[in-house]
Copies of this chain bind each other. A is one copy, B any other.
Amino acid sequence: MQTVKGTRDIMPQDMLIRKAVLEKLSSIAALYGFMPIDTPALESWKVLSAKGVGGEDVIKEAYKFKDKGGRMIGLRYEFTVSLARLVASNPDMNLPFKRYQTGKVWRYDDVSKGRYREFSQFDIDIVGSDSVMADSENISWAIDCLKALGFDNFQIRVNSRKVITSMAKYAGIDEGKMVDVFRVIDKLEKIGEKDVTKQLEQVIPKQSAKKILDFIKISGSNDKVIEKVEKIIKCEGLEEMKRLLSYVNDKSKVRIDLSLARGLDYYTGLVYEISAGKEIGSVGGGGRYDKLIGIFLKKDVPACGISFGLDRLIDVIKEKKLIVPKSSLKVFVSAVNDKVRKDALKIVGLLRENDISVDYDLRSRKLSKQFEYASSMGIPYVIIVGPKELEKKSVTLRDMNSGKEEMVKIDDLAKKF
């Protein structure tokens, strides 16, 4: 009896790293004024599959089923759609609304190392601001998070759907084809230039495809890329990118990448992707989606956000040993026989009251076996409770690293740690 394919158990050592990461991301989000919310894992299929939401690729991968009441239900495949639904059902909310959310999402995709069907994300989003300052908040937060987690060779790649659209218009591409163009361009890194060309040529004329491809391959420093683009087109998107670079907290970490499009249909402006280093690739991304909320509210509300894929991020942190999990267990209490059991339990309670993490023998093992257990759990101290010591209101304290033992008065115990 195993876990379902694409899902997994997370054992304590890995869970301690995960908890540390979540704690970092959420406390930095709070520094930025983001507040936590939660939305259901189960969403109405009508919401998840609404036109303009997600897009056909992600909807194909979504889990859906009928509940016992005959409702068509989907498991959320990300948080942004649910956020849009939430905003639409709270039309009087104070804007801008800055929220963060973490939890599980589900996509039935191919399973490979580091890719699961049940996985976790951590998102921040700003609803109600059309300013590039909001995009800058998202990206600055991600930069602060990666620095706090100990990453160095990371980059936030940015592009703008407005720039790609301007370029596409210049290349003579029909407005209606844009979503398809975005989706194909986004696969450049994954499937390579040849296949992108082939797929582009299926939706747009050959000549246009070539123009697009030449354009997205423009590279160099941010200033150089901007200069080159300005020679071809002029557009609002480019001005926004310039502004973003002037607002962000560390522009050396931001790189313009004209081939970046992002896979989801709903993006309308700046898009961003978090590359954690050369061999690692993307650990998240996001962008601006000024039309998504309007799908549910019938009135557009500008918004943008960024999301970390937690599983990939944590895998890398583990590989690079950026966070080393440590049990907080300080003391193991051993009773030498059943008669002193209750006194031992009192000492356990006393220490815990003093915020000291304590475990004790629950299997009535011999003292030597208890030491072995404490040692295997990496517990640094063992307290041995015996009848003779108790007469002197004392216990024996053993330092598991040095093997040294000393008598300590019970009243002085808590101070020892």
Contact = CB atoms under 8 A, between A and B. Distances in A.
Interface stretch (A123-131, A164-172, A253-261, A409-417): A123-131
B31 A363 contact: no
B12 A94 contact: no
Given A7-B41, A15-B37, A41-B104, 14 more contacts: A2-B89, A4-B73, A7-B42, A9-B37, A9-B89, A10-B39, A32-B352, A63-B68, A67-B108, A68-B108, A126-B362, A128-B362, A131-B362, A133-B341
A317 interface: no
A19 interface: yes
Interface of A: 1-5, 7-12, 15-16, 18-19, 30-33, 35-44, 46-47, 50, 63, 65-69, 71, 73, 82, 85-86, 88-90, 94-96, 98-99, 103-104, 106, 108, 117-118, 126, 128-129, 131, 133-134, 136-137, 140, 144, 246-247, 249, 296, 327-329, 341-342, 345, 349, 352, 355-360, 362-364, 373, 376-377
A355 to B, nearest CB: 7
A219 B36 CA distance: 46
B31 A96 contact: no
B36 A12 contact: yes
B31 A356 contact: yes
A15 B26 CA distance: 13
B363 A128 contact: yes
A358 B32 contact: yes
Nearest to A379: B33
Contacts of A30: 328, 357
Nearest to A335: B133
Nearest to A8: B40
Given A1-B44, A2-B44, A133 B33 contact: no
Contacts of A1: 44, 46-47, 50, 85, 88-89, 296
Contact of A358 (B16, B33, B35, B73): B33
B12 A35 contact: yes
Contacts of A9: 37-40, 82, 86, 89
Contacts of A40: 3-4, 7-9, 118
A56 to B, nearest CB: 15
B362 A12 contact: no
Nearest to A32: B352
B359 A32 contact: yes
A4 B363 contact: no
Given A94-B373, A247-B345, A35 B327 contact: yes
9 contacts: A2-B44, A2-B89, A3-B40, A12-B99, A19-B36, A31-B352, A41-B106, A68-B108, A98-B359
Given A41-B41, A363-B96, A373-B94, A329 B33 contact: yes
Contacts of A65: 63, 65-66
Contacts of A67: 4, 63, 108
Contact of A377 (B82, B90, B94, B137): B94
Nearest to A10: B38
